[in-house]
Structures are given as structure tokens and as C-alpha cells.
């Protein structure tokens, strides 16, 4: 049912925010803030990202014109020269419980408007501050679960946004014994996981999957002087594990506006303020 996802209440009060870290698109960001104590009003947040099944319900109910594509995991055949996570022609039922991707910020806000009519609530996207508090709690931890690295065997590699052959070969020959967040997978062999697949990837408030798997849209501009581009948080399956730290901020692009940007590693969850 469309409005069945419960909401988690994030209580009002202070939390440790930052220090902000940016690994790419540094020319487009505003000056980075040091660690600081912020005080936010209480708000409600969805405990997990919106899924394929929920997105399909929205499309069926509204006839919304979505320029994005469905993506699915290839389970057969050689993938040596092909993507394991690839576009498909129609909704893939096997992906029902995976986080929806290839949605722009404007797509996410259209979903929020529709869901608000269904639930009689005022949904929107979180700010980066709201997202970070929900992800790390009040105590300034680095990851939702604490301080342990999400994939220890990859942390010595460069935290670049485009994974190189070093990541590729390590994923081929040295499978992770610990994967606290889905991240660090070279694009040809990587793919996301279903929501809630990694139980330890849980914030102090009970929010799931706020590190890795997919980037999540926020309302916050990447730079206050250019409202076309917005912050995304959380990292994704195809970015380095360094990006899964709660204090990392990024933008999907500083050339394609958020309203039009869609990619196989970007999705969203919603909040209700007040």
C-alpha cells in the first residue's frame, strides 16, 4: 500500500554535525564547515529509501512522465565487458525491494507531493543537516553504526568518485569479509542490494541504509549562490567506501541541474517536518 511505510521521529535538540568533507566537485561547493553543534527541531523521516515497488505504484496511480530508466541485476551470462547492473526495458519485479534509482530531485519531489495527498501529510526531502542527524545520531559518530570502516580492505585506496582498476581487481580477487555498507564496487561488477539487507547498517534512531547502496537527494544547495545543484548524502554502491561517512557531502553534478540529473546510483527518502 502506498502510504504504509512508517516514519521515525527524530527528536529535537543538538547533535554534532560535520566536519564537512568533499572528495570531488570541490570547485562547486561552498566553504566547508568545521564540526559544530547544531540544534534542529524534531522531524519525521522514512526509515529506508523509496523502493522500486513504491515507485511503480506512484507511476501507475498518477501516469507521471518519468524520463528515467529501470535498472536490474544481470544474473546470467558473462559480465566481463558488460554491466552487472544494467538498464532494462520494463519494470523488473525481482527488484521490487531495491531502492529506486535513476530519479532526479524533481522526480522525488513529485513523488512527495503525491504521497502527501495519499497520507494527508506534507512530505519533502530532508535538508543535509536533517539527513546527517538521522544518520549519525547526536554523538558525532562517523558511520550510522559507529567507527568501524565499511569495507576495511579498501580503505587504503584513493577516495575518488570514479573507481579505478585497483578497486576492480581487489573486488575480483579479495572478496570482503566485512561489508557494513554496500560500497566500493567497480561499475562493471557492482550493484546495489535490497533495502535492509545489511542489518548493521542502522542509525541510532533506527534508520536503515544511510551509508552506501545509493546516494540520497536533499533540499540543500551545493552552493548557496547556485540553486540548480543540490547536496546528496550517503555514498553509493559504485563510489568508494570513504563516501559513506555521514559527514561527506557531494553533488551528483555541477553541470546537469538536480531537476534533470538521473543516474543508477541516486535515489531518495522523505521527511515530514514538525
Q: Are strands 215-223 and 266-267 parallel, antiparallel or unpaired?
A: parallel
Q: Is residue 2 scored above 60 in pLDDT?
A: no
The set of cell numbers assigned to 68 is: 528515467
Cell of 38: 547544531
Per the CB < 8 A criterion, the answer to whether 101 and 252 are in contact is no
- Range 154-164 average pLDDT: 91
Residue 3 lies in a domain: no
* Number of independent structural domains in the chain: 1
Tell me the per-residue pLDDT of 207-230, one tens digit each, with 9 for 90 and over.
Answer: 999 999 999 999 999 999 999 999
**What phi, psi does 269 have (nearest 5°)?**
-135, 160
Q: What mean pLDDT is predicted for residues 141-147?
A: 98
Place of cell 547533535: 15
Please tell me what DSSP assigns to residue 97: T
Residue 79, pLDDT above cutoff 80:
no
CB-CB neighbours of 24 under 10 Å? 16
| pLDDT at position 6 over 60 | yes
Residue entry with cell 519494470: 91
CATH number of the domain residue 91 falls in: 3.90.1580.10
The torsion of the CA quartet 23, 201, 178, 195, rounded to 10 degrees, works out to: -100
If you average pLDDT over residues 75-101, what whole number do you get?
86
Q: Is the bond preceding residue 19 a cis peptide, omega within 30 degrees? A: yes
| Per-residue pLDDT band at 76 (split at 50, 70, 90) | low
Residue 2 within any structural domain of the chain: no
pLDDT of 1 reads: 41
Range in 30-34, 105-109, 172-176 with the lowest mean pLDDT = 172-176
Question: 117 lies in a domain?
Answer: yes
Average per-residue pLDDT in the chain?
Answer: 94
* Residue 142 covered by a domain: yes
* Mean pLDDT of the 40-67 span: 98
- The answer to whether 68 and 59 have CB atoms below 8 angstroms apart is no
pLDDT at 244: 98
pLDDT attached to residue 77: 59
Rg (CA), the chain: 18
H helix intervals, the chain: 52-62, 105-119, 128-136, 165-173
Secondary structure (3-state) at 52: helix
Domain that holds residue 34: 8-273
Query: Which pLDDT belongs to residue 172?
Result: 86
Amino acid at each position: 500500500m502506498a502510504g504504509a511505510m512508517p516514519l521515525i521521529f527524530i527528536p529535537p535538540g543538538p547533535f554534532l554535525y560535520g566536519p564537512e568533507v568533499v572528495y570531488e566537485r570541490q570547485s562547486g561547493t561552498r566553504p566547508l564547515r568545521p564540526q559544530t553543534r547544531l540544534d534542529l527541531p524534531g522531524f519525521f523521516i522514512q526509515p529506508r529509501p523509496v523502493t522500486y515497488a513504491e515507485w511503480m505504484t506512484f507511476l501507475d496511480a498518477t501516469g507521471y512522465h518519468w524520463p528515467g530508466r529501470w535498472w536490474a541485476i544481470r544474473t546470467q551470462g558473462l559480465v566481463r565487458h558488460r554491466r552487472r547492473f544494467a538498464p532494462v526495458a520494463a519494470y523488473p519485479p525481482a527488484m521490487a525491494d531495491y531502492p529506486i534509482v535513476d530519479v532526479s530531485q524533481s522526480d522525488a519531489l513529485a513523488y512527495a507531493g503525491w504521497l502527501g495527498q495519499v497520507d494527508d501529510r506534507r512530505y519533502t526531502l530532508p535538508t543535509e543537516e536533517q539527513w546527517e542527524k538521522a544518520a549519525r545520531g547526536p554523538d558525532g559518530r562517523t558511520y550510522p553504526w559507529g567507527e568501524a570502516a565499511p569495507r576495511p580492505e579498501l580503505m587504503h585506496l584513493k577516495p575518488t568518485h570514479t573507481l579505478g582498476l585497483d578497486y576492480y581487481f581487489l573486488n575480483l580477487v579479495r572478496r570482503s569479509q566485512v561489508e557494513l555498507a554496500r560500497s566500493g564496487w567497480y561499475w562493471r561488477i557492482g550493484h546495489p542490494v535490497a533495502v535492509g539487507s545489511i542489518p548493521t547498517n542502522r542509525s541510532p534512531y533506527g534508520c536503515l541504509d544511510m551509508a552506501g547502496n545509493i546516494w540520497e537527494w536533499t533540499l540543500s544547495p551545493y552552493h548557496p549562490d547556485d540553486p540548480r545543484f543540490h547536496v546528496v548524502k550517503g555514498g553509493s554502491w559504485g563510489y568508494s567506501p570513504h563516501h559513506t561517512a555521514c559527514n561527506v557531502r557531494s553533488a551528483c553534478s555541477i553541470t546537469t541541474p538536480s531537476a534533470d540529473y538521473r543516474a543508477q546510483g541516486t535515489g531518495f527518502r522523505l521527511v515530514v517536518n514538525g
